[in-house]
Amino acid sequence: MSILKSYTLSKLSYHMYLDKFTESDIKSLNKIITWFLWSSNLRPFEDAKSFKNTMTLSRAVHHWKNGGISLWDMKLRNDAQHIWILNRVIANQDVYSPYYQSWRNQIRHNKITSPTLKHSILLWQQFRPIMKLPPHQMKPILSNDEPLPLKLIYHNLINHHHKPVLTSGQFQLSLPPTKIDFTSTRNIFYYINSIKHHRGRNTVFRFFSRSLPGMAYIKQDSCKLCSANDFDPHTHYFFNCRVILNKFNLKHITQHLQIANYEDEWSLEKSTTHFYLCDESSDLTAIIYHNIWKHVSSILFSQDDKILDFSNQSIISDFDIHRNILKLINNTPTPAN
């Protein structure tokens, strides 16, 4: 994502302040972005082909604390930049644009001849009600006495146009007994964000955002491990597959690692309670998720038949390494400035 934003889109976004994208521009751009983010390394980009998203735009545009990946919505980004620049012209701020003087004259005499200005005013007037302001008043939109920053304009547009959407799987998880919260400000992703074990956090994020690589492509009638039928692969492999459940013992693991008050039973419901605690137990839970995923994905997708181990020992040794790394980080004196 940072590669995409800093090396590619930043060059383009410079032009986005004044140039308006057409619908086909946006379509092509989104297609290239989808290809870059989601398709396999082996697949070259071809304009005529379409590429599969692992996450819909309406989910991907949100911050990852809200289950997205902060992907730019290129149309809204383009709109936000037009609104931002016009707002600054109206606020009489220094705007480094050759259009500036001419725009101010056109606005003052209420004779709008520039198509770009016309378009920007339209967007700006549509944006005002989102900020609970009357649309036609020609007064700048301020925040702390300054023209509203671009970031906030874009943020408000995103929240207005992309309401959080739950996948059918997430919808199921939001019902009793699990009742996992996906939409409030303190939703499950908010807590996932504080997991310290990087890979564990990544796997847990992908589990709850339903974006585990490859899972969308699985079309099989029964589980590859236990032959159960009629199953949701996402939750089955992590919580219901008896082959997986027989491979580890929580009591043994937590006693060995001396983690107190850990639920003995491994279920979605029970394990989720540990994420809300934001302590060692959330890291252990994330490490178990990650170990299950490494094992299952090597069975489902490995091309060289190398199956990654999953056992009490694999979990314990990952957690030991994690604990030692944390100790090292916490004991290292901060370098003098």
* Min separation Cβ 227 and Zn ion, Å: 7
268 binds Zn ion per the rule CB under 5 A = no
Nearest residue (CB) to Zn ion, 60 versus 241: 241
* Min separation Cβ 319 and Zn ion, Å: 25
Nearest residue (CB) to Zn ion, 107 versus 299: 299
Nearest residue (CB) to Zn ion, 139 versus 242: 242
Nearest residue (CB) to Zn ion, 141 versus 223: 223
CA angle in degrees (0–180, nearest 5) for 75-81-87: 135
* Min separation Cβ 225 and Zn ion, Å: 4
Nearest residue (CB) to Zn ion, 216 versus 243: 243
Nearest residue (CB) to Zn ion, 212 versus 241: 241
- Site size for Zn ion (CB under 5 A): 5
Q: Which of residues 217-256 bind Zn ion (CB under 5 A)?
A: 223, 225-226, 228, 241
The residue among 208, 175, 176 whose CA lies nearest residue 275 is 208
Nearest residue (CB) to Zn ion, 278 versus 299: 299
| Binding mask of the shown chain, residues 6 to 35, with x at each position contacting Zn ion by CB under 5 A | ------------------------------
* Min separation Cβ 218 and Zn ion, Å: 12
* Min separation Cβ 223 and Zn ion, Å: 3
SS (H, E, C) the chain: CHHHHHHHHHHHHHHHCCCCCCHHHHHHHHHHHHHHHHCCCCCCCCCCCCCCCCCCHHHHCCCHHHCCCCCCCHHHHHHHHHHHHHHHHHCCCCCCCCCHHHHHHHHHCCCCCCHHHHHHHHHHHHHHHHHCCCCCCCCCCEECCEECCHHHHHHHHHHHHCCCCCCHHHHHHCCCCCCCCCCCCCCHHHHHCCCCCHHHHHHHHHHHCCCCCCHHHCCCCECCCCCCECCCHHHHHHHHCHHHHCCCCHHHHHHHHCCCCCCCCCCHHHHHHHHCCCCHHHHHHHHHHHHHHHHHHHHHHCCCCCCCCCCHHHHHHHHHHHHHHHHHHHHCCCCCC
Rounded Cα gap, residues 291 and 269, in angstroms: 19
Rounded Cα gap, residues 91 and 258, in angstroms: 61
Q: Which of residues 150-179 bind Zn ion (CB under 5 A)?
A: none
* Min separation Cβ 226 and Zn ion, Å: 3
Nearest residue (CB) to Zn ion, 133 versus 228: 228
* Min separation Cβ 316 and Zn ion, Å: 24
* Min separation Cβ 83 and Zn ion, Å: 51
* Min separation Cβ 7 and Zn ion, Å: 42
Rounded Cα gap, residues 185 and 314, in angstroms: 35
With CB under 5 A as the contact rule, which of the stretches 197-205, 215-223, 270-278, 288-296 interacts with Zn ion? 215-223
Nearest residue (CB) to Zn ion, 16 versus 243: 243
Binding site for Zn ion (CB under 5 A): 223, 225-226, 228, 241
